[in-house]
Amino acid sequence: MSVMPMKRVMICALKKDRKAVLELLQRQGVVQVENPQCDAADPVFIQTDKSAEAAMFRKYAQSAGEALAVLNHAAPQKKGLLSSLEGRRRLSVEEFDGLVLKRDEILTNCRAILSLDRERIENEASAPKISSQIIALEPWLNYDLPLNCKGTKTTAVMTGTLPNEWQLDAILAKLNELAPDAGDVHVEIISTSQIQTCIFTVCEQKDAADVADAMRRMGFIKAPETDVNPAEETKRLKESLEKLRKRNASLNEKLCGFADRRSEIEFLVDYFSMRAEKYEVLGTLPQSPRTFVLEGFIPAVQADDLKELLEARFDISVELADPQPGDDVPVLLKNNAFSRPVETVVESYSMPGPGEIDPSSLVAIFYYVLFGIMLSDAAYGLIMTILCGLLVRKYKNMEPGTKGLLELFFYCGISTTVFGLLFGSFFGDSVNIIATTFFNRPDIAQPALWMAPLNNPMKMLTFCFAIGILHLFVGLGAKFYMLWKDHKYLDAIYDVVFWYMLVGGCIVVLLTVPMFTNMLTIKNTLPAPVGKVAGIIAGIGAVGIILTGGRDSRNWVKRILKGLYAVYGISGYLSDILSYSRLLALGLATGVIATVFNKMGSMIGGNFFGAIVFLVVFLIGHALNMAINILGSYVHTNRLTFVEFFGKFYSGGGRKFQPFAVHTKYYKIKEEMKS
């Protein structure tokens, strides 16, 4: 229910125990290491730069990760839909040590995998090149000389293509026209198509330049060069293509052969990430020739245990102290099972800053209620509750983040069910639609235990505003508590009590106005004297705010002006309260869209075919509606929490406690240590 108290820990130990101490601390994962920068002139303690080593280990971890990706691509692992919920596998210290001894072998395997993959990629890249060569040779298949044949001592041979379709006579005529001085030229057409004509030309060497020039002007392009004739070259190319294909198949097979090494490679990723983190910490340690020092923060409850553990095992000095005021102490939240799930919500806003309370338990109650009002369908709530409950029970080893989210939706589901029953919604109006369509009993309907929002929108709106006012006032109350706790009694009165008086007074005054209560469908208008009293209270509040709102200014004129501006903040309260109308809007959205789908499904009628259509529309429609409205409710519950609620008292700005620990992806090293 609170921010965990922290202790400062300072460890001084012998350098020979450095590795063991660090590894123990890493496995315990309770200390956030924060060593101050050593003074460069310090004659005894220096920090050694270990960033090169750390970077090297990160690189190893990365190449192991790449090898793993290659392996997963070549030999995909069969994974269930919910395998991501299983969490990291456990590894005993013995297994861990065994695998550490094999690390070089595993790393060699990783490199082998990567080089096999590189070759595979190169082969894959060269295959299309060969294919295009084969295609380029296709028009030349009838030609029986090597394509790079230049002729003989006295004759010149030119093979190539002319654009468009040419007849033999036309080519000869054109050549004659463009090179009138040349002697006999022999031209043969190898193949023609609409876009090109492949020709073979022979002329005397002395005319070669003239003929070549003429042909160039006709758009002649040389044929691709081959040492053998095109048919043979094509055969050769096809063979090498086949060879590449076979080679890749065998490469793939070799890659698949590593599939049973997958878990080892996963270990290697974890191992090197761990070592990298250790070296990053090591680089910050002030070290003398024989000793080293480590400073950091530790949750107070674990401090004594760690001290005992360390002192029993090493010649070591462990000093614990309370943090000094002004220390930037990292924040760790601790809550009971009911409010723990919203810790992630609080964290995604900001951790509590110095002097602030952990708002989780306050957030939790309203979070579940607001979510429930927005989704407000008993069936959707039941599905969420049962699904999340089962998953959390089944997968005990789940990662804390995933578990938190599922638990959040578990509680939200319960609240959704409750509000769904209160508002009489079970898959929208499905009970009534099914009874009417298939059993001809339009009198059967899901009763609303309280009211159906669609029939009483104003009443529902009033309820939403009431919830909003309560939410805001609780937020203000939290501010009062924090100020009071800090012995800022006057501030508590100025900033909270006056606002309670002003806002609360105004609300009560409004409740005495019949026009207003009629609009909000509140049956009992408060009697006028109550309004008078409330008005006076609101007035006192307003005057109080005018006098104190600008109390940081000495100048009284300035102070009153600032105070007047502060009173203007009442408009902020108005918009905050109106913002809770989204509870009604989103609640109606769920119900109405569910109704739309029910109606669509029942349009065919009550026969057998109609039942099938109804079932299909029902399943798809409600799955869609549920997904989109859970998303909407989640987003807007967060918004109401962050903007309206936190706006009243919580600004955050704390640092999250991030201990030096085993941060792995695939394995969890068991906590018990060998002694």
Chain residues in the site for another protein (CB under 8 A): 345, 347-349, 457-458, 461, 578-579, 581-582, 584-586, 588-589, 592-593, 595-596, 599, 628, 631-632, 635-636, 638-639, 642-643
Which tokens go with 348? 């995604």
Instruction: Give the distance, in angstroms, between the CA of residue 400 and the centroid of all CA atoms in the same chain.
Output: 15
Quote the least distance from Cβ 589 to another protein, whole Å: 5
Contact 337, 364 (CB under 8 A): no
CA distance 638 to 530: 36
Shortest approach of another protein to residue 575 CB, angstroms?
Answer: 9
Q: Which is nearer to another protein, 249 or 627 (CB)?
A: 627
459 and 522 in contact (C-beta within 8 Å)? no
For the CB of residue 581, give the shortest distance to another protein in the complex, in Å: 5
| Choice between 87 and 457, CB closer to another protein | 457
CB 542, CB 567: distance < 8 Å: yes
Q: How many C-beta atoms lie closer than 10 Å to residue 254's C-beta?
A: 15
Least separation in angstroms between CB 596 and another protein:
5
Cα(499)–Cα(537) distance, integer angstroms: 10
- Residues whose CB is less than 8 angstroms from the CB of residue 650 and which lie 6 or more positions away in sequence, other chains included: 349, 352, 356, 359, 475, 478
Q: Are 342 and 57 in contact (CB under 8 A)?
A: no
Return the number of the residue (416 or 512) whose C-beta is nearest another protein.
416
User: What whole-number distance in Å separates Cα of residue 305 and Cα of residue 420?
Assistant: 48
Kindly tell me which of 364 and 537 has the beta carbon lying closer to another protein.
364
CB 368, CB 413: distance < 8 Å: no
Is the Cβ of residue 382 or residue 454 nearer to another protein in the bound state?
454
CB of residue 351 to another protein, shortest distance in Å: 12
Q: Which residue has the tokens 């501010």?
A: 479
Asked if residues 5 and 352 have their Cβ atoms less than 8 Å apart, the reply is no
What φ, ψ does residue 262 adopt, rounded to 5°?
-55, -45
Between 324 and 575, name the residue whose CB sits nearer to another protein: 575
Rounded least distance, CB 452 to another protein, Å? 12
User: How far is residue 419's CA from residue 476's CA, in Å, rounded to a whole number?
Assistant: 26
State which residue, 418 or 584, has the beta carbon closest to another protein: 584
CB nearer to another protein: give 249 or 643. 643
Q: How far apart are CA 486 and CA 573, in angstroms?
A: 26
Minimal distance in Å, beta carbon 592 to another protein? Answer: 5
Identity of residue 52: A
Which single residue is written with the structure tokens 């519950």? 637
Amino acid at 658: Q
Q: What is the dihedral of CA 376, 380, 383, 385, to 10 degrees?
A: -20
Q: Which is nearer to another protein, 283 or 632 (CB)?
A: 632
Q: What is the DSSP letter of 211?
A: H
Closest approach of another protein to the CB of residue 434, in Å: 17
CA dist 347 and 101 (Å) reads 40
Report the nearest approach of another protein to the CB of residue 431 (Å): 18
Nearer to another protein, 345 or 662 (CB): 345
Backbone angles phi, psi at 664, to 5 degrees: -115, 170
Q: Hunting for tokens 């002329």 — which residue is that?
A: 203
Type and span of the H or E element at 272: helix 262-282
Compute the least distance from the CB of residue 251 to another protein, in Å: 25
CB of 520 to another protein, least distance (A): 12
Smallest separation (angstroms) from another protein to the CB of 585: 5
The token duo for 45 is 């303690």
CB nearer another protein, residue 154 or residue 348 = 348
User: Whose Cβ is closer to another protein: residue 317's or residue 456's?
Assistant: 456
CA 605 – CA 601 distance, rounded (Å): 9
